[in-house]
A and B are shown apart, each in its own frame.
Chain A
């Protein structure tokens, strides 16, 4: 029997710890994926994802069910990421780990593009491209990046994004347009080929 998010929230509110575990297991991959997309670093992504769920645990009673649970969760996720970035503002910027191929050289599965029919040459080419794209995303400003990541990774609608970021749909529209334009310029050579 699978419960809806809202049911789990309700049950957790009534003291059922197991429901919290179910929520974590349901969303841990997605939250991690988003966090990773924003901070671009594995250790930090793990740490911040945990921070997100710690806050969920503490503040779930404040979720009143006026929006969907996941928009609430993603908003929390974004805020955890952004406040962590602000805290580290004075620290020297970390190099985006995926721009460094030696870190994952042993694990080609990790950055292979999701097409099994590719030839080894194409896989290599795609791996290079994936890295380029990731580092291009990483170079966006925090706000543009997090909007872009939620749109592309989680396919949130503009309406949902507007709820997450507490802004108008127009703002979302222009942020995405700007983010994409910057990315397009950065990786333009990769966008014309016929791979």
Chain B
């Protein structure tokens, strides 16, 4: 009799054990916030989606709200059409992994720049993510919903207080970021971007989307080139390139871009989120569109004109400026 009862008792015991172990194991199995961020970057290259995205952007004294329809086809094709404000309604952009093209529908205006989806751009994005993982305290906040989809909410808080912060909402199923809020070092919201509508696995005819764009000779108009180190850049450029000897904590070199067929250079530095750009060009090229002498971050030195931009405190920018040699 005993031998018969034993298995009957064992079953509920086992059940309890299974439930208990599950309860203990689930926090252990829970996905790390850093891993979520990594997956969310890769997700951006591996998904087909279409969505409506709203971006709120604050510049000093002004606020822009832009609504854009975005179509992304893996791995490297992105098409956007601006829906509002009406001033830019006809604006469409296309990124095919080679170029990023802006165009106003029905006009002959268009503009080429470097692709944000090219292999180099991805490499830069991955490096930048790694920096983010090093320079930021990454934590998971309470889960939330965006357009009815469950999302992880991840907070990125800088280890150094002078740097930019971010909160990002990541889709639990696909790992695509559905919302992103950036704050400056003072904690003020500077930009917020979120989907108001999102659909996955939609395929579009690229041909049809290309039709919005004039097929101009790309070689002739394209005047930018990207370098991942200064050595290669210096070999290519006609004037000596200066770089800052001081950078704010956690910042490092990201990339150099040749503009206007080598007439000007942009050097970019990042800590993973924030960006500092130093522009320079020979002084015989006129810089227009600002009030002469009143812009402390535009200056001339040794036959070159410089312009510095970054979202770090003013005193840091001045320090960088003084260190440019």
Residues of A within 8 A of B (CB): 1-4, 6-7, 70, 155
Contact = CB atoms under 8 A, between A and B. Distances in A.
A4 B214 CA distance: 8
Contacts of A7: 217
B216 interface: yes
B301 interface: no
B220 A6 contact: yes
Interface residues of B, number: 8
A70 B217 contact: no
B215 A155 contact: no
Contacts of B215: 1-4
A4 B216 contact: yes
Contacts of A6: 217, 220
Nearest to B218: A4
B21 interface: no
Closest 8 CB pairs of A and B: A2-B215, A4-B216, A4-B217, A7-B217, A2-B214, A70-B108, A6-B220, A1-B215
A98 to B, nearest CB: 23
A6 B109 CA distance: 15
A28 B192 CA distance: 44
A70 B108 CA distance: 9
Contacts of A2: 214-216
Nearest to B214: A2
A19 B96 CA distance: 28
A146 B172 CA distance: 59
B324 to A, nearest CB: 31
B17 to A, nearest CB: 68
B3 interface: no
Contact of A4 (B107, B109, B220): B220
Interface in B310-324: none
Nearest to A155: B107
Interface in B252-306: none
A44 B114 CA distance: 46
B90 to A, nearest CB: 11
A10 to B, nearest CB: 10
Given A1-B215, A7-B217, A155-B107, 14 more contacts: A2-B214, A2-B215, A2-B216, A3-B215, A3-B217, A4-B214, A4-B215, A4-B216, A4-B217, A4-B220, A6-B217, A6-B220, A70-B108, A155-B109
Interface in B217-253: 217, 220
17 contacts: A1-B215, A2-B214, A2-B215, A2-B216, A3-B215, A3-B217, A4-B214, A4-B215, A4-B216, A4-B217, A4-B220, A6-B217, A6-B220, A7-B217, A70-B108, A155-B107, A155-B109
Nearest to A1: B215
Nearest to A7: B217
A1 B210 CA distance: 11
Most buried by B among A3, A4, A6: A4
Contacts of B108: 70
A155 B109 CA distance: 10
Contacts of A1: 215
A160 to B, nearest CB: 11
Contacts of B107: 155
A9 to B, nearest CB: 12
Nearest to B108: A70
Contacts of B216: 2, 4
Contacts of B217: 3-4, 6-7
A1 B216 CA distance: 10
Interface in B74-121: 107-109
Contacts of A3: 215, 217
A55 B174 CA distance: 59
Contacts of A70: 108
Nearest to B221: A4
A154 to B, nearest CB: 9
A155 B106 CA distance: 12
A3 B216 CA distance: 6
Nearest to B107: A155
A7 B220 CA distance: 10
A7 B214 CA distance: 13
A1 B207 CA distance: 12
A5 to B, nearest CB: 8
B249 to A, nearest CB: 42
A4 B215 CA distance: 7
B208 to A, nearest CB: 15
Interface in B147-180: none
Nearest to A68: B108
A2 B214 CA distance: 7
A44 B217 CA distance: 35
Contacts of A155: 107, 109
A3 B214 CA distance: 8
B1 to A, nearest CB: 87
